[in-house]
């Protein structure tokens, strides 16, 4: 059932803006007028992220992953209770807080009511429902286990959110410390050091080398501060352009995998994503070639992505999945060994689940360890910079006192 947004004036002359969920625009106008509102404008709202055209009335909205996971779990519960999909979507549309998600559910309900499958309706919202979501729903509809698949989707979505939040949380402290330290050092060099430098210069004494360097940095920043900002912005712009090229992306991703601590973390995150996504898709009935194509597109590192593509080609030719993964050198021996055991026993889905859970725990431990290492490093760097300034200021004062 479409949603119409209207604007009008009530009997007191106040402007009123609201939405109404009815069968047609004619009925919408009748309902609004029955409320004693003089219509100024009314139009149908189209859900954001649709692939087709339509109104841009509410395109700015977005759906959080938490809302999506909750909606998926509630939809699974309703379908498990033998409620028809159209009725379930209608019930969810009345409950969700997100206006954007309400519009999307209304659009899904309308398309399913017109005879489309749920998976087909989801494809019209690629910004909200990715290929994993659509293919799993399609497999669930084909096998008659839609409620089970939706529950797995909710679990899978929440798991990905937990991992992403863990990584983001671990990087928050170092980033804040870095930005704070950079700003503080610039304030000292631009505003504090010049005042102290005037006192030293008035002494007409030869200053220590460290003090001369400090004054030179201060003078440079006072005059060419704009150049420093331009260089920083220029570096990030050029770096971004370079890593978006095929050669640059390949070199940057190769460097990420070779870094001492971060390299292992990147591998573990990609392996965890590979195993959890592939296991969830296969367990939901998605064909292995389709599942590998989806997984390949979800892995950010191009070299590990290439290894998955070679594995997909190997499977399509009737060979083993693990062969290309072993040859790439990016997948640990334990992972490939367990996948091979799963292939031989026909229990690859449970093996992938065990690997993904194990690696998720390892990633969290690694992130915690990395955070504990980064914190003292940041403190040492900040302390070293402050110590440099202190010595640059204190040494001339000590020399002055010794002369007296």
**Whole-model pTM?**
0.68
CA 275-281-286 angle, 5° bins:
140
Each residue's pLDDT tens digit, 58-71: 334 578 888 888 88
Provide the CATH topology of domain 175-404: Receptor-associated Protein (1.20.81)
Mean pLDDT computed over 345-370: 83
Mean pLDDT computed over 180-206: 84
CA 399-402-403 angle, 5° bins:
90
Q: So what's the pLDDT on residue 238?
A: 95
Each residue's pLDDT tens digit, 378-401: 888 888 888 888 888 888 777 666
Mean pLDDT computed over 195-204: 80
Q: What are phi and psi of 20, to 5 degrees?
A: -140, 140
Does the structure show a pLDDT above 70 at 266? yes
Query: Does an H or E element contain 15, and which?
Result: strand 15-21
Q: So what's the pLDDT on residue 55?
A: 35
Q: What are phi and psi of 238, to 5 degrees?
A: -65, -40
* Domain boundaries of the chain, sorted by first residue: 3-45, 65-158, 175-404
Q: So what's the pLDDT on residue 47?
A: 52
Mean pLDDT computed over 224-232: 91
Does the structure show a pLDDT above 60 at 224? yes
Residue 140 in tokens: 């669930």
With tokens 């999506």, the residue in question is 68
Q: Do domains 65-158 and 175-404 have the same CATH topology?
A: yes
Weakest mean pLDDT among 48-57, 157-166, 230-239, 353-362: 48-57
Share of the chain above pLDDT 90, in %: 12
Q: So what's the pLDDT on residue 313?
A: 93
Mean pLDDT computed over 307-332: 90
Q: So what's the pLDDT on residue 400?
A: 61
Q: So what's the pLDDT on residue 57?
A: 33
Mean pLDDT computed over 206-224: 88
Give the integer Cα–Cα distance in Å for 132 and 122: 11
Give the integer Cα–Cα distance in Å for 159 and 359: 12
Question: Would you state the CATH architecture of domain 65-158?
Answer: Up-down Bundle (1.20)
Closest CA to 14 of 35, 42, 44, 45: 35
User: How far, CA to CA in Å, does 263 sit from each of 94, 212, 225, 255, 300?
Assistant: 47, 40, 35, 8, 14
Each residue's pLDDT tens digit, 136-190: 888 888 888 888 888 888 888 888 788 778 778 777 878 888 888 888 888 888 8
Q: What is the dihedral of CA 207, 209, 214, 215, to 10 degrees?
A: 40
Environment class of 105 (CB within 10 Å of its CB; exposed 0-12, middle 13-18, buried 19+): buried
């Amino acid at each position: 059932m479409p949603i119409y947004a209207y604007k009008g004036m009530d009997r007191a002359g106040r402007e009123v803006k609201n939405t109404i969920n009815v069968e047609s625009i004619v009925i919408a106008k009748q309902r609004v007028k029955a409320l004693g509102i003089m219509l100024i404008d009314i139009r149908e709202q189209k859900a954001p992220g649709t692939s087709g055209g339509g109104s841009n009335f509410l395109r700015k909205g977005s759906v959080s992953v938490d809302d999506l996971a909750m909606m998926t779990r509630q939809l699974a519960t309703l379908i498990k209770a033998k409620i028809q999909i159209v009725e379930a979507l209608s019930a969810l549309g009345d409950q969700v807080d997100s206006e954007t998600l309400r519009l999307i559910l209304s659009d899904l309900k309308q398309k399913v009511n017109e005879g489309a499958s749920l998976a087909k309706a989801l494809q019209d919202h690629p910004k909200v429902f990715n290929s994993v979501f659509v293919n799993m729903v399609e497999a669930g509809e084909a096998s008659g286990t839609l409620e089970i698949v939706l529950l797995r989707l909710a679990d899978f979505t929440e798991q990905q959110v937990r991992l992403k939040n863990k990584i983001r949380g671990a990087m928050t402290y170092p980033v804040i410390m870095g930005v704070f330290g950079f700003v503080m050092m610039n304030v000292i060099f631009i505003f504090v050091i010049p005042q102290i430098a005037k006192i030293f210069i008035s002494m007409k004494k030869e200053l220590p080398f460290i003090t001369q360097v400090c004054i030179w940095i201060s003078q440079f920043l006072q005059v060419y501060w704009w150049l420093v900002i331009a260089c920083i912005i220029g570096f990030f712009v050029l770096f971004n352009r370079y890593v978006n090229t095929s050669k640059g992306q390949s070199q940057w991703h190769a460097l990420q995998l070779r870094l001492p601590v971060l390299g292992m973390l990147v591998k573990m995150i990609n392996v965890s994503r590979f195993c959890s996504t592939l296991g969830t898709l296969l367990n939901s009935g998605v064909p292995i070639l389709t599942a590998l194509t989806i997984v390949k597109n979800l892995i950010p590192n191009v070299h590990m992505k290439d290894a998955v593509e070679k594995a997909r080609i190997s499977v399509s030719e009737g060979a083993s999945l693990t062969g290309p993964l072993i040859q790439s050198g990016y997948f640990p021996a334990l992972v490939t060994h367990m996948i091979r055991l799963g292939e031989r026993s026909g229990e690859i889905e449970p093996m992938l689940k065990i690997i993904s859970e194990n690696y998720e725990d390892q990633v969290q431990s690694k992130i915690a360890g990395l955070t504990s290492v980064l914190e003292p490093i940041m403190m040492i760097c900040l302390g070293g910079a402050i110590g440099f300034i202190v010595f640059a200021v204190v040494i001339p004062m000590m020399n002055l006192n010794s002369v007296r």
